Amino acid sequence: MISHIFYVYLNMSIIASIIAIILLIIRFIFGKIIPRKFIYSVWAIVLFRLLIPISLSSKWSIINIIDSYNIKSIKIPNNQADILSYTNTIQVANNYFPIKYKSQFITSFFNITSLIWLIGIFVIGIIAFIMYRITIKKLMKAKQTDEYNDVLMQCMNVLKMKGKILIYKGDFIQTPAVIGLIKPKIIIPNSVDNKELKYIILHELCHINRKDQLWKVLTIIAVCIHWYNPFVWLLFYIADRDMEMSCDEKVLNNIQNNEKKQYATALTNMACDPQFTVTAFGSTAIKARILNIVHYRKLPLYMIIIMTIVCIIITILLITNPTL
C-alpha cells in the first residue's frame, strides 16, 4: 500500500518539477517587469500539484503540448463526470486500481524506495516540528502591549481589515514576525524605532491578510513529502522570497511615494537571519527586496487587468491534466 502511495506522489513530484521549470523560465524572463504579487500567486499551482493528487482533465492543459514525453492521465474510478484524473509519467504498471507493476523487479524497487521515502518524511517532519516548537516557544515569551494600538488601527483601516489582532513585544528577537494561523499575533522587538512602526505593522498585517502563515505551513508539508526532489526545496526558497517581495509591494501601494526610503530603511534595520517557520519582516533576501522597492512602480488599472487575465490563463494551462 505504501509503495502505491509513493508511486502516485512520485508522479506528482515529476509533474510539479516540470511546471516549476516553466514558471522559473517565465520568472527569469519577465521577473523585472511583472510585479511579485503575480509571480507569487502562480507558485500556488506548483504547491497544488505537490499536495493534491487529482485534478481536472482538459484539452487546454499544457501537458498535452509536451506529448513527446508521453505523459498520460489515469481516470479516477467512479468518476461520473469523467474529467477527474491523476498524471502518470513513469508508466511502469499494468493496472492502477490497485497498482500492479509490470515486473517483480519494479515491485521490489518501489517496496524498498517507498520505505526510504517514509523514513525521510518522518525525519524531515520531526526536524521541522522541533524547529517550529523552538521558534514558537521563543516567540511566546513576548508580552502583550497596547502601546501601539493607535498605529495598529490606522494600518488596519488603510488595508480595510477587520477583527482583533494583538501586538506583543520582546527583547529576544531581532525582527518583527507573525505567529498563529487562527488568532495571529504580531511580535515586535523592544528596540524598534517608533518612526518605523507604521511600516512594520503594515507589512505584518499584509501577511495576516493574505494568510501567508498558512502558505508557509503548506510549503513545509510539501517539502516533507517530496524531500527527495531538489526542485521542491528550490520552490520553498524562491517562493519565500517572492512572498516577502509581494508583501513589500502591497505596503508600497498603501503609502506615499516619498515614504519608500523610510520603508527601505526600516527593512534594513530589521535585517536578520532567515526564519524557517514564521513570516518575518526583515529575514529574507534584503538586498533583492531593497532593489525591488527602489524600482517598484504602481501599475495602472489596465495593466492589473491584463496581468490578472494572464495569471488565470497560466493557471488553466498548468493546473489541469492531459485529456483522458
| pLDDT above 60: residue 277 | no
Contact 145, 169 (CB under 8 A): yes
pTM of the model: 0.85
pLDDT at res. 178: 86
Mean pLDDT, to the nearest integer, of 245-274?
82
User: What is the total residue count of the chain?
Assistant: 324
Strands 185-189 and 177-179: antiparallel
Question: Helix crossing, 301-319 with 36-51: angle to 10°?
Answer: 20
Query: In this prediction, what percent of the chain has a pLDDT beyond 90?
Result: 21
- Using an 8 Å Cβ cutoff, are 117 and 4 in contact? no
Cα–Cα distance between 64 and 120 in angstroms, integer? 33
**Digit-coded pLDDT (tens) for 300-315:** 888 889 999 999 999 9
pLDDT tens by residue, 203-255: 999 999 988 889 988 999 999 999 999 989 988 888 888 998 899 999 998 88
Q: Is 138 within 8 Å of 187 (Cβ atoms)? A: no
d(CA 230, CA 205): 32
Residue type, 97: F
Q: Distance (Å, rounded) from C-alpha 180 to C-alpha 159?
A: 20
Give the closest residue to 239 by CA, choosing from 228, 223, 252, 257: 223
Instruction: Return the amino acid letter for 72.
Output: K
CB 208 within 8 A of CB 285: no
User: CB 28: neighbour CB atoms within 10 A?
Assistant: 9
Q: Is there a contact between 53 and 8 (Cβ–Cβ < 8 Å)? A: yes
pLDDT tens for each residue of 83-131: 777 777 888 777 777 778 888 888 888 889 999 999 999 999 999 889 8
| 38-47, 118-127, 137-146, 217-226: the lowest-pLDDT one | 137-146
Domains in the chain: boundaries? 2-142+189-319
The kind and range of the H/E element at 96 are strand 93-96
Decide if 148 contacts 185 (C-beta within 8 A): no
Question: At how many degrees (to 10) do helices 212-225 and 104-139 cross?
Answer: 140
The per-residue DSSP string of 192-238 comes to: --GGGHHHHHHHHHHHHHTTHHHHHHHHHHHHHHTTT-HHHHHHHHH
pLDDT of residue 205: 93
CA distance 173 to 130: 18
Q: Work out the pLDDT band at 271, boundaries 50, 70, 90.
A: low
Query: Which grid cell sits at 23?
Result: 514558471
> 145 exposed, middle or buried (CB, 10 Å; 0-12, 13-18, 19+)?
middle
**Which helix or strand (DSSP H or E) is residue 17 part of?**
helix 2-30
pLDDT of residue 47 exceeding 90: yes
